[in-house]
Amino acid sequence: MKKKLTTVVGVCILPFLVFTIFYFIADGFGVHTIPIIISQSMIPTALGLAMACIMPAGLMDFSPGARMILGAIVGGLMGNAIGIVGLILGAFLGAMIGGVAIALLYRYLRIPSMVVSLGVVLVMEALSDRIGILFGRGSTVQIPANLASFANYPKNVLFVLTACLIFYYVTYKTKLGCLIQATGNDEFMLKSMGVNVDNVKFKAFMLSGIFCFFGAMMQICYSGTVQALTNMGTMTMVFKPMMGVLIAMQLVKVFDNMPLMIFIGQIVIQTVFNGFIAMGWTDNIQNIVLGVFLLVVMGVSENTGRMAEVRRRRMVRKETKVQV
């Protein structure tokens, strides 16, 4: 019990630890950096949440980025047309279209989620670009500053907060949350218990749409401009949040609060990045560190079981040696 507590504290203290490290080694990296770090880790967190609906169910999804952009574009256009209501409505619409699309495709094409998501990325990117060109000026959508201020820092913190709360509510306070976990754990057994697994997955995808909506809101408001990316450009947006989620999925084993873990994960990543910037390093080092970090975390988590087995064996052998 006590051990658990310490680990929990350790996890929560991690960002501060990283922060202090950079505080000392990188000049110009100080308290004033904190808001930046927070505001920069907002969009990735939202994307992370979107993926965290799906990945625990044992599925893979590359499309949140594309869906988010679609939401941002539609939102921006409608925002320009009919103001704040349009912004929210549009973003929601766009994001949900994506969610529904992938959910339906996955359910009725019956092909691996990863493949579906690849196709969806292709389509969604092109779609958002088309929409931008049809209803707006080119693939770029701008919204006036007064609209943009709606979900801008520090307001976007509230957005993420609500998103996290929703996520927490769904995962820990509804039947769906439990079932999503169970699905990822053992789909067969769940089926045999008479749970409609397809339905669970379907809902999971839909749910991820909601978080794409939050992401979309912040994306468009963050800089007042959003540009439709094509050529799988949105996939690169997804990778870093995905890493955050992967890491979080390991952390929850210690401290069972997915949204918090995702948030912490993102904060850490962003802190490191800003630290590097403050030290005048360019982003190539960042990527390398990121990759190594991912490998280490996954490597450890994947091998704990084997390590335990080996340790047990060694124990047994030692004991018998003592006896002999």
Partner 1 sequence: MSFLKKSNINFRTIFPFLGLIIIVTLFAILTKGKLFSLVSLRSIMNDGIYVLLGTIGFTFLFAMGCMDFSIGYNMGVSCAVACVVANTFHIYAAIPAAILTGLCIGIVNGIVVTKTRIMPMIATMGMMFILQGGVLIILNGSVLQAPLSMTGMYTNPLKIFLIIIFIIGGYVLFEMTVFGRVAKAIGACPEAVRQTGINADKYKVIAYVIMGAIAGLLGFISLARTGSATNSTGVTLMFNVMNAALLGGVPMTGGPTTKFRGAVLGALTISFLSSGMTILRMSAQNQQLVKGIIFLAAIGICFDRKNMKVIK
Partner 2 sequence: MDKMEPLLKVAHMCKSFGITKALQDVSFSLRRGQILGLIGENGSGKSTATSIIASLQQADSGKMFLEGEPYEPKNSVEAISNGVCMILQEKGTFDLLTVAKNVFVGKEEMFVKHGFLDNREMVKEAQKALDVIHAGHIRAEARLSSLNFEDRKLVEVARAIYSNPRILVVDETTTALSRNGRDILYGIMRKMKKEGKSVIFISHDLDEIMEVCDTVTILRDGIYIDTLEKSDFHPPTLRKLMVGREVADNYYRADMESCKNKEVVFRMKNIFCKDVKDVSFELHKGEILGFGGLGDCGMHILGNVAFGLTEPDLGQVEAGDGTVIRNPTVAMKKKIAYISKNRDQETLMVSCSIKDNICLASYDKIAKGPFIFRKDENAFIDAHSKDLEIKMQDTNQYIMELSGGNKQKVALAKWLGFGADIFILDCPTRGIDIGVKANIYQLMMELRKQGKSIIMISEELSEVIGMSDRVIILKEGKISGAFKREEELTELMLIEYMV
Partner 3 sequence: MKKRFLALLVSFVLVVTLSAGCGSETTPANTSSGGTQDGSGSTSDDTVHFKEYTIAVPFPETGLTSFEIMRSNCDLLENATNGKIINAPSDLTPDGVLSFVESQIAAGVEGLIICPPSDSVLPTVTQLCEEAGVYWGIALRSISDPEIKSLVEASPYYVGNCYEDEEQAGYECGKWMGEQGYKKIAVISQAKGDTTCDTREVGLARACTEFGITIVGESRGHVQASDATAATESFLAANPDLDAIFYVGSAASGTHEATVKAIQDAGRGDDVKMVTIDFPDQMEANFESGIQVYAYALSCLTFDPYISLIKVINSIQGTPINEDGSPSSNTMSMFAIDNVKTAREYQTITGNPAYKFFDEEGVKQLLKLFNPDLDEVTLQKMIDEYKPI
Question: Which range in 12-20, 22-30, 38-46, 123-131 contacts partner 1 by CB under 8 A?
Answer: 123-131
The least distance separating partner 1 from the CB of residue 251, rounded to whole angstroms, comes to 16
Interaction with partner 3 in 256-285: which residues (CB under 8 A)? Answer: 273-274, 277-278, 280, 282-283
Residues 206-245 that bind partner 1 (CB under 8 A): 230-232, 235, 239, 242-243
* Interface mask toward partner 1 for 2-41; x: CB under 8 A: ----------------------------------------
User: 142 CB contacts (<8 Å, ≥6 apart)?
Assistant: 76, 80, 224, 225
Nearer to partner 2, 171 or 286 (CB): 171
The span from the CA of 17 to the CA of 3, in Å, is 19
* Residue 149 DSSP symbol: G
Residues ≥6 apart with Cβ < 8 Å to 65: 47, 121, 234, 235, 236, 237, 238
| Residue at token pair 């929409």 | 131
> At residue 139, what are phi and psi to the nearest 5 degrees?
-80, 0
**With contacts defined by CB under 8 A, how many residues of the chain interact with partner 1?**
52
φ, ψ at 225 (rounded to 5°): -140, 145
User: Residue 45, interface with partner 3 (CB under 8 A)?
Assistant: no
Applying CB under 8 A, among 117, 128, 142, 183 the residue interacting with partner 3 is 142
Looking at 94, 132, 209, 244, which residue binds partner 3 (CB under 8 A)?
Answer: 132
Out of 6, 192, 282, 320, name the contact with partner 1 by CB under 8 A: 282
> Is residue 277 a contact point for partner 1 (CB under 8 A)?
no
Residue 59 or 93 with smaller CB distance to partner 2: 59
What three-state secondary structure class fits 46?
A: helix
Return the range that interacts with partner 3 (CB under 8 A); candidates 35-43, 109-117, 190-198, 200-208: 35-43
What would the DSSP string read from start to end of 283-314?
Answer: HHHHHHHHHHHHHHHHHHHHHHHHHHHHHHHH
Distance CA 167, CA 172 (A): 8
Token pair 């809101």 is at which residue?
Answer: 217
Binding residue for partner 1, selected from 47, 52, 120, 226, defined by CB under 8 A: 120
Q: Rule CB under 8 A: choose which of 7, 225, 250, 301 binds partner 3.
A: 225
**Cα(61)–Cα(40) distance, integer angstroms:** 23
Asked if 227 interacts with partner 3 (CB under 8 A), we say yes
By CB under 8 A, name the one of 130, 155, 311, 312 that touches partner 1. Answer: 130
Sequence-distant (6+) residues with CB within 8 A of 115 are: none
In the complex, the residues that contact partner 2 under the rule CB under 8 A are 169, 172-175, 177-179, 181-182, 184-186, 189-190, 192-195, 253, 256, 312-313, 316-317, 320
Long-range contacts of 197-204 (CB under 8 A, 24+ apart): 198/107, 200/57, 200/176, 201/57, 201/59, 201/103, 201/106, 201/107, 201/113, 202/103, 202/106, 202/107, 203/176, 204/53, 204/54, 204/57, 204/59, 204/176, 204/180
Decide if residue 290 touches partner 3 (CB under 8 A): no
Does the CA dihedral 177-118-135-219 come out positive or negative? positive
| Contact with partner 1 (CB under 8 A) among 7, 23, 100, 119 | 119
Residue entry with tokens 């820092």: 153
> In this chain, which of 4, 25, 109, 138 binds partner 3, going by CB under 8 A?
138
Q: Which residues bind partner 3 (CB under 8 A)?
A: 26, 28-29, 32-33, 36, 39-40, 43, 132-133, 136-142, 145, 148, 152-153, 219, 222-227, 229, 231, 233, 273-274, 277-278, 280, 282-283
